[in-house]
Amino acid sequence: MPRRVLVIDDDPISLAIAAVLLEAEGCAVLLAESGEHALDVLAGSEPPACILADLRMPTLCGPQLASHLRACVPDVLLLAMSATPPPAVDGYDGVLEKPLTPEGLRTAFDRIAEHVAATSPPVSRSVLLDDQVFDRLRRAMSCAALQEVIDAFLQDTVTRIADMRTADAETARRQAHTVKGGAAMLGAVRVSTVAAVVEAGIDQPGERLRKLDELEHSLRETEVILMQRLKI
């Protein structure tokens, strides 16, 4: 489940129910009673990972609202809500049936996450490694010394990922913080980004394991790039 969710609905009862369901799943919930109110909320808070928006509201709603929301938070997971859900709505990543249920929320998020993973293009080298950071290290250190630093980072990160798979939530966050810092020093952008998500806190064990699998995969891809850069 996304950690931070904005719910938009002109019905206060629906807002309250959605908040209860999402908070029970470990989400931090923001509420807006209209499309216009949602834009004000987004302007004054940290961007959410997901937005749930009722399709039928008196003023700004539907595809027009989606367009405004995308302008504010382009990469957000945007889901429509409707008592009579259509198969798809322009501008939205999916549609949830009202009334919301915990099972419906989990199924929708899992299905959309699988679709994104299946259709996303391969991660580019520029996303994996910050060339400017790495080049500064190459200028400051000998090739042999940099090789030792990279080897130590890779070995340490592998160990910490293994530890995080069975650690309690607080220990996992501390380990992820260390991985994030080490990756940032080398310019390993993708590893640092994924570690930051784990550091932010993932309470569901299954979701943490999926994110650690992603971290491990990113580390392997980054290792290949780092070894190639050392030979240049």
Give the type of residue at 231.
Answer: K
pLDDT of residue 111: 66
Residue 185 per-residue DSSP state: H
Residues 110 and 200: their CA atoms lie apart, in Å, by: 20
Query: pLDDT (tens digit, 9 = 90+) per residue, 161-206?
Result: 999 988 888 898 899 999 999 999 888 998 998 888 888 776 565 7
Residues 101 and 115: their CA atoms lie apart, in Å, by: 21
Give the type of residue at 16.
Answer: A
Query: pLDDT (tens digit, 9 = 90+) per residue, 64-79?
Result: 999 999 988 888 889 9
Helix (H, G, I), strand (E, B) or coil at 128: helix
Positive/negative CA dihedral, 176, 177, 183, 188: positive
pLDDT at 229 over 90: no
Find out whether 116 and 32 touch, Cβ atoms under 8 Å.
no
pLDDT of residue 125: 44
pLDDT at 107 over 80: no
Least confident of 19-28, 44-53, 108-117: 108-117
**What are the backbone dihedrals phi and psi of residue 6, each rounded to the nearest 5 degrees, phi first?**
-105, 125
Find out whether 30 and 3 touch, Cβ atoms under 8 Å.
no
List of domains in the chain: 4-119 (3.40.50.2300), 125-231 (1.20.120.160)
Give the type of residue at 46.
Answer: E
Omega cis (within 30) before 99: yes
- Dihedral of CA atoms 41, 44, 46, 48 in degrees, nearest 10, equals 10
Residue 44 per-residue DSSP state: T
Residues 137 and 199: their CA atoms lie apart, in Å, by: 26
Model confidence at 126, pLDDT cuts 50, 70, 90, reads very low
pLDDT of residue 124: 47
